[in-house]
Amino acid sequence: MPSDKLGAAIGEAYGALKADKNLIAYLNKDPDAVLSRVSPQLCRVFGVSESVIERRVEREKLWPPKANLSV
């Protein structure tokens, strides 16, 4: 799972989250809970387990997204 593709997938997931202001507020409060909601989608894209996704995004500091998280 290349870092650039994982980063792009995280960006796409964040884009989908931005449509729901409540999720962005929740992301600010509990980013790990939101990652748990997003990781099943990402694991299907990359063909790995949710725990692999979560470890990689943590290790590479891809979550929470660095984009503006304000509501």
The domains of the chain are located at 3-59
**Of 69 and 55, the one with more pLDDT:** 55
Predicted TM-score of the model (pTM)? 0.76
Three-class DSSP category at 1: coil
Q: Kindly report the three-state secondary structure assignment for every residue of 4-62.
A: HHHHHHHHHHHHHHHCCHHHHHHHHHCHHHHHHHHHHHHHHHHCCCHHHHHHHHHHCCC
Classify 3 as helix, strand or coil: helix
Backbone angles phi, psi at 19, to 5 degrees: -70, -20
Can you give the pLDDT at residue 67?
53
More confident residue, 25 or 57: 57
pLDDT at 33: 86
pLDDT digits (tens, 9 = 90+) for 40-61: 999 999 999 999 999 999 999 9
